Amino acid sequence: MLNAHREGLIAKPSLESLKRNVARAQDAGFDVEVLVILDRADRLTRDVVESQSEKDFRLIETTFGDPGKARNFAVETAQGTYVAFLDADDLWGETWLVSAARIAASRQDPVVWHPEVCVYFGAAKHVFCHIDMEDDTFRPAGLAIENYWTALSFSARDIYLQNPYPGTDLTSGFGFEDWAWNMETISRGVIHKIVPGTGHVIRRKTESVSTATVRVQGVTRPNAYIRQFLGTAAKAFPR
């Protein structure tokens, strides 16, 4: 699912990276359906997406104005077993989709998959490493302070159906719908893991929803995340 909004010309590299991923996955024998959600998209973005899409891509216009709600809608619309998210200003490393699909098929328990690294470019340049909850370095309490995973995840469609993204409400000081979603899914027994050797390339803009959230001192809305870790001193906090 490609989430497009007002990316304009920079939607093209995203679409191209998506097409490469689709081709690799199809070569490996997977069926792939592509949904492009044009959520309050401007004309330029719509034109770029329409001209660059393959014939079998499904383009759907929505008016949520909220990336979380657009994702929820895409999940309900999708027909496949798994869902993967991409935003129209970011790029998937070429092996992401096929590696994630392969490893996801190897686990029967509820797992949300993330790439091993996110390479940030543009207004800021750094490499962000995702943490695997089954790794010794995972520290549960820290997720109440910092977000560990981006929203460009891969998982069974059922998991997204059962765990829709919460809405944002910046006027009340609540934001970071992807962070809140990570916490809430863990509270419901979902595990977040990495797909080794995979990466996303993330464009850092000077102004984004998350920087706006930081500016209003926003936090995630109330959730029960930390309660499951109370009183579990040494065991749950490997050093």
Partner 1 sequence: MRGSGLFDAEWYRLAHPYVVRDGIDPLTHFLLYGRDHRLSPGRAFDAERYLDQHEEARASGLNPLIHYLRHGRARRLEIHPAPPSGADRILASGLFDARWYLEHHADVAAAGYPPLLHYLVHGWKEGRSPGPDFDAEWYLKRYPDIVGADPLLHFIDHGLAEGRSPLRPERALSVAKATLASVEDLDPELYGADYLADPDRIEVVNGVPRHRAARAFEQIVGRIAHAPRTIVFLPWIIHGGADLVAGHAVRALAEAHGPQSVLVVLSDHDRQDAPHLLPAEVPVLSLSRIDPALSQDERVVLVDLLIRVLQPTAVLNVNSRACWEAVKRHGRRLSHFTRLHAMLFCPDYSPEGRRSGYSDLYLRPCLPFLTAIYSDNRTHLEELVRQFAIPADLRGRLVTLYQPAAEAAPPPRRDRQPGAPLRVLWAGRFAAQKNVDLLVRIAESAPQFEFHVWGRGDAAHEARIADLARRCRNVHVEGPFDRFEALPLATYDAFLYTSLWDGLPNVLLEAAAAGLPIVASHVGGIGELVNGDTGWLIAAFDEAAAYVDALQSIADDPKRARQATRAMTRRLQDHHNWRRYREVLAREPSESGGLLHGSANDNGGAERPSRGADRQTVP
Give min distance, CB of 200 to partner 1, in A. 7
With CB under 8 A as the contact rule, the residue among 146, 189, 206, 207 that binds partner 1 is: 146
Give min distance, CB of 27 to partner 1, in A. 14
With CB under 8 A as the contact rule, the residue among 28, 50, 162, 173 that binds partner 1 is: 173
The interface with partner 1 within residues 34-63 (CB under 8 A) comprises 62-63
For partner 1, the closer of residues 14 and 82 by Cβ is 14
CA 173/CA 157 separation, integer angstroms: 30
The interface with partner 1 within residues 67-86 (CB under 8 A) comprises 69, 72-73, 76
CA 42/CA 46 separation, integer angstroms: 6
Locate 99 and state its tokens.
């590696």
Binding range to partner 1, per CB under 8 A, among 45-53, 98-106, 130-138, 151-159: 130-138
Binding range to partner 1, per CB under 8 A, among 7-15, 27-35, 102-110, 205-213: 7-15
